[in-house]
């Protein structure tokens, strides 16, 4: 069953509060970069559970390292040091997987609801910059309960990657027409930016 918003919406219709395309009327928050975070510190701040896992794994590695020293200098068991070494390797693998999960761009799963995906697409098609979209989406995701904080997205580049991932993984036939129109709008904007870089004088004379 299609949602009422999908039935009546078009990606080229600005999705703003009060049917206005005025950015000041949209609720928006800061990007992770605005909070003076690095990409890694932002990942830690946005994934507190993952950060606890990392601290716990580091503590376990320290204890196991002590075990290796102990077994290496005692006659209790020669296998003890080997077991500790294997466990340290396992902990390092888990740490690597945890860090990778924390650093990766927020997945398209946070936009699994069609209305949420449509909101995202319409912001892009309206012409906001990726930084503006990221700030708006941070507030939106928090208010909708889709993310625990209001600073999920780190910067405009991460917001763009989220868009790419969403377009690749969304299989909703009702959303596909909006995705295609939004992709066309993004391509058009990129073409205009490229033309401004390549032919700045010609574009200025045309504007005049």
Count of all residues that appear for the chain in the document = 208
pLDDT digits (tens, 9 = 90+) for 171-189: 899 999 999 999 999 998 8
Looking at the predicted structure, is the pLDDT value of residue 78 above 50? yes
pLDDT digits (tens, 9 = 90+) for 132-152: 999 999 999 999 999 999 999
Mean predicted confidence (pLDDT) in 121-125 = 92
Instruction: With cut-offs at 50, 70 and 90, classify the pLDDT of residue 160.
Output: very high
Interatomic CA distance for residues 169 and 179, integer angstroms: 11
Residue 205 tokens read as 């004379």
Phi-psi region of 18 (alpha: psi -120 to 50; beta: other; left: phi over 0): left
Mean predicted confidence (pLDDT) in 52-66 = 96
Instruction: With cut-offs at 50, 70 and 90, classify the pLDDT of residue 15.
Output: very low
Write the CB contacts of 136 (distance below 8 Å, at least 6 apart in sequence). 26, 27, 28, 123, 128
Name the DSSP class of 14. -
Instruction: With cut-offs at 50, 70 and 90, classify the pLDDT of residue 19.
Output: very low
Q: Which pLDDT score, from 0 to 100, does residue 191 have?
A: 83
Looking at the predicted structure, is the pLDDT value of residue 154 above 70? yes
Say if pTM beats, i.e. exceeds, 0.85: no
Instruction: With cut-offs at 50, 70 and 90, classify the pLDDT of residue 114.
Output: very high
Q: Where are the domains of the chain?
A: 40-103, 107-207
Looking at the predicted structure, is the pLDDT value of residue 110 above 70? yes
The answer to whether 17 and 130 have CB atoms below 8 angstroms apart is no
Mean predicted confidence (pLDDT) in 25-53 = 91
Name the DSSP class of 150. S
Secondary structure class of 35 (helix, strand, coil): helix
CA nearest to 123, candidates 32, 1, 7, 9:
9
């Amino acid at each position: 069953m299609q949602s009422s918003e999908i039935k009546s919406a078009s990606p080229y219709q600005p999705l703003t509060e009060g049917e206005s395309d005025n950015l000041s009327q949209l609720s928006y928050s800061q990007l992770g970069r605005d909070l003076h975070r690095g990409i890694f510190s932002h990942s830690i701040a946005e994934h507190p559970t993952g950060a606890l896992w990392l601290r716990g794994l580091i503590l376990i590695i320290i204890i196991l390292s002590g075990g290796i020293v102990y077994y290496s200098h005692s006659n209790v068991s020669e296998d003890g040091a080997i077991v500790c070494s294997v466990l340290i390797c396992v902990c390092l693998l888990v740490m690597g997987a945890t860090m990778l999960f924390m650093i990766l761009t927020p997945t398209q799963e946070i936009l699994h609801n069609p209305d949420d995906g449509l909101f995202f697409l319409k912001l892009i098609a309206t012409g906001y910059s990726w930084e503006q979209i990221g700030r708006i989406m941070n507030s939106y995701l928090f208010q909708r309960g889709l993310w625990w904080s209001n600073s999920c997205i780190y910067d405009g580049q991460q917001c763009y990657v989220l868009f790419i991932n969403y377009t690749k993984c969304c299989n909703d036939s009702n959303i596909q027409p909006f995705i295609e129109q939004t992709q066309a709008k993004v391509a058009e904007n990129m073409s205009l930016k490229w033309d401004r870089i390549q032919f700045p004088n010609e574009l200025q004379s045309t504007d005049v």
